[in-house]
Chain A
Amino acid sequence: MKSGREFLHSFVRHKLAMIGLIIFLAEIVLVLVLPPVMHLDPTAIDSTHFSAAPGGSHILGTDDVGRDMFARVVCGGRISILIGVAATAISVVIGLPLGLFAGYYRGKAETIIMRAADIFLSFPSMVLILVIVAVFGSSIPALIILIGVLNWPAIAKLIYGNVLSVRSMEYVEAERAIGTPSLKILFQTVMPNSIAPLWVSLSFRISNAMITESALSFLGAGVQPPTPSWGNIIQNATSLVVLTQRWWIWIPAGLCLVVTIFCINFIGEGVRDALDPKMKRM
C-alpha cells in the first residue's frame, strides 16, 4: 500500500494539480478573509454610481442598482463554493456506500439500490427542486441538501460499476480463501481498487452542483437576491444591455466559476494519479 508520504510525494510532483490546489486554497482564504477585512457589503447601494464601469472607488464597477461588484463576487464565491463542495459531500456520503454495497453484495440490495438510483435519475430533478422550494421556501442549507441528495445516483452508479469488475478479480477471491471477513475485504481490498474514477468525477459533481445552483437562481428558486452567488450574478447577463455593454457585471464572476472548476478538476486528476499504484514510485 502506498504510504501517506509516498502519496504526498507523487501529488506534489503533479504540477497542474499543485497549481490547482494553490489557486483553490487561495480562493477559499480570500472569500473568507476579504469581506471582514475590507468591510465588503454585497448589498450596500451606492446611489451615486449606477452601472459604473470599473475604476475609482469600485474596482470592478457597480451593477444597475449601484452595488459594488467586487464585494458581490467575493461574497458570491463563499456561497457558490460552499454549495458545490457541501452538496457533493452529501452525494458522496450517500452514493459511495450504496454503490459499494449494491455491487459487492448483489442480490436484493443491488436490485433495490440500483432501481432507486434509476428512479432518481429519470425524475426531472429541477422540477422536483422547484416544487419543494415552492412548498417549503428556499434557503442555502435546503439547497445544499436538495442538490446533494438528488446527485447521489451518479456517484453510486460509478462506484457500483467498478465494484462489479473488481469483486470478480481473483485477488478478492484469494482474500476469501484466507478467510478475511467479507466487510474487511469490501473496505480494504475492493474499495481502494474501485474508487479511483471518483476523484475525477468529484470535480464534475462540484461544478454540476454550482451550475444547478445558478440555474435555480435564474428561475428564482435558488439563492435569493439580494444575497449574491456566482450563479445569480452571471444570470444578469441574460439582459442584452448587460451582456453587450456592461461586461464588468458578469465576466468576473464567470471567470471565477471557470477557474474554480478547472482547479477542482486538476486536483481530482492529481489525487487519482497519486493513488494509482502504477504511477512511478519515488
Chain B
Amino acid sequence: MDEQEPLLRIENLKKYFNVKDNHKKVILKAVDGISMDIKAGETVGLVGESGCGKSTFGRAVLQLHSITSGKVYFRGQDITGWNEKELRPLRKDMQIIFQDPFASLNPRKTIFETVIAPLDAFDIGTKQERREKVQKMLEFVGLPEYQFHKLPHEMSGGQRQRAVIARAMITDPAFVVCDEPVSALDVSVRAQVLNLMKDAQKASGVSYLFISHDMSVIRYLCDKVAVMYLGRLVEYGTKEEIFGNPLHPYTKALLSAIPVPDVGAKKHERIRLVGDVPSPLYPPAGCRLHNRCPYATEECSDEGVAQMLKVNEDHFVACPFTEEFEARKAAKESA
C-alpha cells in the first residue's frame, strides 16, 4: 500500500502574503512549508486554531491562490503555477465545499441552476442527462423535488449546505477540499451533513482534505490527521496514532481540551498553553510554539528544532524533545 501513487502530493508548500502593518511592509507567512500526501479514497483532517492558515492551505492546494513556492502534484502531474485555462480540465476533479452556506450560493440562482452549472461548464453529457444527474444528486443529498427551484434565501442553513455539497460532488471529483463545512451548522444538522459526506465518499471513492477546528468532527470522519500551528504542521499521522498517542505539546493541548461526555470519567490532565496565539505577522523563531509551551527551553528557539521527525511509518512530529517532557516537567517543578 506504500507503493500506491498518492492522488495528491504536496511538497513544501508556501503561501506568503504582502501586507501592511502600520505602513510597514510585512510578509505574512500564512502557509510556511507544508508537505503531505493524500491517497485516493482517504480523508485527511487538518486541524488548527482560527487564523493558522488552514483555509489558505486548502485554497492553495486547489490553485485558487497562487502559491509562493513548493509543488503540488495531482495524479503525478505537477500543477503548480498553472493558469486558469490549463487548470480548467482538472477543475472537475478537484472541488471545494465552503464554510459559509449563506455566502457560497449565488443569491440569484435557484438550487437547480447552481448545481447544474458545473456540468454545463464542463459540457458533460446531453442536456437531458445533465438534468437527470442533477435530479439524482439533489435527491441523494436529501433535497426533495419541490425544493429544486428555490432560491438560497428560501432555504435553511442545512439545506443550503446540502446544495453546496451537491454542487461539489456533481462532477464526480477525485478530491474535495472541505473548508469547515459543518462549523456554521447547528449540532443536530451537523451529524446529518457529516454522514452525507461519508456516504458520498463510499459511493464515489473521493478523497477529502477536511479542514476543521473541531477535534470530535475530525475523529469521526478522518483517516489521517494533520495538526497545524501558525502556518506549519506540528504533527501528522493516522487518526489512531494522533488520538491514541499524541506527542507534540500542541496536539496534546488540543486533545485535552475536548470535553469528555462522562460525569464519572477520571479527570484527565489538561495541558495548558500559556498566553495567546502570537500574531502570524511576527511568529516566534524556531519552534513556533516555544513561547507558549510548558516544556520549552532555550534550545526551542533555534531554527531547526521544528523539522518533521519520523516516529514510525504512520506518525510524524515536529518536536525533538517528546521523550524528555517528563524530565523537563520534573526539572521545572523542582526549580
Binding site for B on A (CB under 8 A): 1-2, 169-171, 173-182, 189, 192-193, 277-278, 281
In the complex, the chain A residue whose C-beta lies closest to that of B170 is: A178
- Per-position contact with A for B84-127: 1 when CB-CB < 8 Å, else 0? 10011101101110111001111111100100011001100000
Binding site for A on B (CB under 8 A): 59, 62, 64, 84, 87-89, 91-92, 94-96, 98-100, 103-110, 113, 117-118, 121-122, 151, 153, 164, 167, 171
- 18 further A-B pairs in the complex, CB-CB below 8 A; given A176-B64, A176-B84, A278-B107: A1-B110, A1-B113, A2-B108, A170-B99, A173-B59, A173-B96, A174-B98, A174-B104, A177-B62, A178-B92, A179-B87, A179-B91, A189-B106, A192-B108, A193-B106, A277-B107, A277-B108, A281-B151
State A175–B106 Cα separation when bound (angstroms).
10
Q: Which residues of B contact A176 (CB under 8 A)?
A: 64, 84
CB distance from B149 to the nearest CB of A (A): 10
State A169–B103 Cα separation when bound (angstroms).
6
Q: Which residues of A contact B91 (CB under 8 A)?
A: 177-179
Q: Which residues of B contact A174 (CB under 8 A)?
A: 96, 98, 104, 164, 167
5 closest residue pairs by CB, A with B: A179-B91, A170-B104, A179-B88, A170-B98, A178-B118
In the complex, the chain A residue whose C-beta lies closest to that of B59 is: A173
CB distance from A71 to the nearest CB of B (A): 48
CB distance from A73 to the nearest CB of B (A): 43
State A193–B103 Cα separation when bound (angstroms).
12
Q: Are B122 and A1 in contact (CB under 8 A)?
A: no
Q: Are B122 and A170 in contact (CB under 8 A)?
A: no
Q: Are B122 and A173 in contact (CB under 8 A)?
A: no
CB distance from A21 to the nearest CB of B (A): 24
Q: Which residues of A contact B117 (CB under 8 A)?
A: 175, 178, 180
In the complex, the chain B residue whose C-beta lies closest to that of A169 is: B103
State A281–B95 Cα separation when bound (angstroms).
32
Which of A171, A182, A277 has the most chain B CB atoms closer than 10 A to its own CB? A171
Q: Are B105 and A171 in contact (CB under 8 A)?
A: yes
CB distance from B250 to the nearest CB of A (A): 29
Contact of B98 among A1, A173, A180, A281 (CB under 8 A): A173
State A170–B89 Cα separation when bound (angstroms).
21
In the complex, the chain A residue whose C-beta lies closest to that of B101 is: A170
Name 20 interchain pairs, CB-CB below 8 A, sorted by A.
A1-B108, A1-B113, A170-B98, A171-B106, A173-B59, A173-B98, A173-B104, A174-B164, A176-B84, A177-B62, A178-B121, A178-B122, A178-B171, A179-B92, A179-B122, A182-B84, A192-B108, A193-B108, A278-B107, A281-B151
